[in-house]
Amino acid sequence: MGQSELVIYATELLESLNVKYMLVGSIASMAYGESRFTLDIDIVVDLPPSLVKALCAGFPDPDYYVSLPAAEDAVRRRGQFNVIQPKSGLKIDFMVARDTEWGLHQLTRRIQVQLVPDHWGYTAAPEDIIIGKLLYYAEGGSEKHIRDIVAMLKISDSLIDRDDVTMWAEKLSVNEIWQEILRKVN
């Protein structure tokens, strides 16, 4: 199973469980920017404790590795857990939606997009993808996040509300990084 098939499998499983989700990170930024190689699939979920076991059961041994205790702990503390497909090395990072103003807001404005031919799924709004990448850059300094943002602005600028990004960047203390990116792009 390749990355596209794993994305389809995961999103169909989430939809069958009626779990609100959205793809974020590199997979989502590719919908608005440039494709790049990644082994990670990042998915924000609004996962109730009652569905953790069912979600984990959807990724059975030996095709996948997932720790039910780690998933339950992630839901309790609103953190993250992962599912690994050992054969391919692909990994899904399930991130429980943050219990913050921005965390809750971004789920309300997720967008349904065509992920691959004949399959639709939800991604974060482009503004929220940018904010997420700004936050990850601030935490770890990886230039890949800046490259993804720049590509999104070059390819899909007309779809991006820069004022909205600026407002959230100010609220989340990443506006200095955002303004530097805008200077580079402009």
* pLDDT tens digit sequence for 72-97: 999 999 999 999 999 999 999 999 99
Residue 31: pLDDT over 90: no
Query: In this predicted structure, what is the pLDDT of residue 38?
Result: 60
Quick one: average pLDDT of 144-171? 92
Q: Do 165 and 129 contact (CB within 8 A), yes or no?
A: no
68/112 Cα distance (integer angstroms): 29
Quick one: average pLDDT of 137-164? 90
Query: In this predicted structure, what is the pLDDT of residue 104?
Result: 85
Three-state DSSP at 173 gives: coil
Residue 28: pLDDT over 80: no
Query: In this predicted structure, what is the pLDDT of residue 54?
Result: 98
Residue 134: pLDDT over 90: yes
Tell me if the pTM is above 0.75.
yes
Query: In this predicted structure, what is the pLDDT of residue 36?
Result: 58
116/130 Cα distance (integer angstroms): 22
144/35 Cα distance (integer angstroms): 12
Residue 134 tokens read as: 């700004």
User: At residue 24, what is the residue type?
Assistant: V
The strand pairing partners of 120, in sequence order, are 114
Query: In this predicted structure, what is the pLDDT of residue 6?
Result: 93
Residue with structure tokens 């404790």? Answer: 49
Quick one: average pLDDT of 90-114? 92
Query: In this predicted structure, what is the pLDDT of residue 37?
Result: 56
* Phi, psi dihedral angles at 122 (to 5 degrees): -105, 135
Query: In this predicted structure, what is the pLDDT of residue 58?
Result: 98
56/47 Cα distance (integer angstroms): 12
> Which residue has better confidence, 157 or 164?
164
pLDDT band of 39, cuts 50, 70, 90: low
